[in-house]
Structure 1
């Protein structure tokens, strides 16, 4: 898998976690995340997969399924604080 901690992928991580932190989006479908974030489909799934692997999101349902739901974890909230401090 690509190094998702650099460049646009790191920016995409920040965007996705910020969306999940704001009501009413605290839990939403993968399709909704892609629509709201305006991130390209393949990039969105790459980033969601990495966030899930790192424990920053909970993925309810099958991965790569538009109807599965995503929520941010406490670890994800901490990670978002760290990357916001870095002014990405």
Structure 2
């Protein structure tokens, strides 16, 4: 039996964010069926991914968490293998 990939709903809040000449892709998504919470993932220019362990009740909550992290830790915190970076 062939299993189908689950259908994913992407938030309209997903997109590219650029700071200090560095662009990252913010992905906020959830499964269409099943768990209705939102997942937050940030993809760096090299394809490295930071995914939050926590789930969010709304896509806005997920975006707000991304923005708080951006403001406090800076965009470099999302880069793969950067000295002093913090992964979530």
* TM-score over 0.5 (shorter chain): no
TM-score (norm 2): 0.30
Higher strand share: 2
Structure with the bigger RCO (C-alpha within 8 Å, sep 6+) is 1
Higher helix share: 1
TM-score (norm 1): 0.30
Computing the radius of gyration from Cα coordinates, the structure with the larger value is 2
